Amino acid sequence: MTIERNADTPWSKFDPEAYVDLNYRTPLEADLLIVKLVRDYFSDCSARALPASARGIDVGAGANLYPALSMLPWCDSILLLEYATPNVEYLKAQAVGGGYDTVWDAFWDVLSQAPAYRDVEPRGRFGDIVRVERGQLLELGGERRWDIGTMFFVAEAMSERPDEFRRGVECFMNALHRGAPFAAAFMTESLGYQVGDHTFPACRVNADRIRESLDPFTAELEIHEVTPMVRPGHEGMILALGRRNAAVGAP
């Protein structure tokens, strides 16, 4: 049986509106828990690991704004890196005009329960500092580096190949400066996923494989297992929170 590569996947067929309707228009308990955990971790890191004017990146942003929203209080700029053209168009539309869709208000409500977020006007701030760029995670080199980063449901959700999963994690981690806080989320034991009329691949990963892939790059690492299933064909979610270490060429 042929194992589907990232390059073989019909990303031009990805339907961001269907993805938002399925996953975010009615907030899921699992996502709200993840947002709370990320909020608290980034708030804690802000006093000890972040520069005054941080540069943030959300890798493989897709049709999901809450990772970028979680970085707003500390960033002067946030790059949303995304490969699928329909998702790029969706993200650009969210970052201009009258501000992002009201579907994301529920996630900001959770974030704004922490002091660092309360003085931020999210729509204006998002429009001012967010930039969208079409780019491929697996081609993200280490020559550009960021002070804080997120990667949600990307490395395991772009290919069936374990080597591409490992490479995706490595590319993300090598895009971060030494000491940079990060949040990365993964579907566990996923068999693939349906968006609109199309099926997309996934690499089956679990907590041990995720920890193994991240350990060489981290100065600290927390693994949180979020067990509620959000769709058929997976066993839950893993949220990894940590800071980049000085290994593997980090400055």
For the chain of 251 residues, list the mean pLDDT of each consecutive stretch of 10: 63 86 91 96 83 90 97 96 96 90 97 95 95 93 88 89 93 94 88 69 87 94 81 74 76 44
**Which residue type does 19 have?**
Y
Report the distance separating Cα 251 and Cα 245, nearest Å. Answer: 9
Q: Specify if 249 maps to a domain.
A: no
Determine the Cα–Cα distance for residues 237 and 231; give it in Å rounded to an integer: 11
Asked if residue 201 belongs to a domain, the reply is: yes
Q: Kindly state whether residue 124 falls inside one of the protein's structural domains.
A: yes
Query: What is d(CA 21, CA 19) in angstroms, rounded to the nearest whole number?
Result: 5
Asked if residue 104 is part of any domain, the answer here is: yes
**What's the pLDDT at 250?**
45
Alpha-carbon distances, residue 117 vs 31, 40, 76, 156, 240 (angstroms): 18, 11, 14, 30, 21
What CATH number should be reported for the domain holding residue 33?
A: 3.40.50.150
Residue 139, phi then psi, degrees to nearest 5: -110, 10
pLDDT at 251: 44
Distance of CA 28 to the CA centre of its chain: 16
Largest CA distance in the chain: 54
Residue 222 structural domain: 6-46+54-244
- Count: domains in the chain: 1
Give yes or no for a contact between 82 and 105, defined as CB atoms under 8 angstroms apart. no
Q: What is the pLDDT of residue 34?
A: 96
Q: Is 250 inside any structural domain?
A: no
Distance CA 68, CA 100 (A): 12
Task: Note whether residue 251 is domain-resident.
Answer: no
Alpha-carbon span 205 to 141, nearest angstrom: 24
pLDDT of residue 131: 97
Say which residues have a Cβ less than 8 Å from residue 54's Cβ, sequence separation at least 6.
Answer: 71, 74, 75, 76, 146, 147, 148
What is the reported pLDDT for 199?
74
Q: Is residue 35 part of a domain?
A: yes
- Residue 120, domain member (yes or no): yes
**Spatial separation of the C-alpha atoms in residues 97 and 107, rounded to whole Å:** 20
Per-residue confidence (pLDDT) for residue 203, from 0 to 100: 81
Q: What are phi and psi of 187, to 5 degrees?
A: -80, 135
pLDDT of residue 92: 96
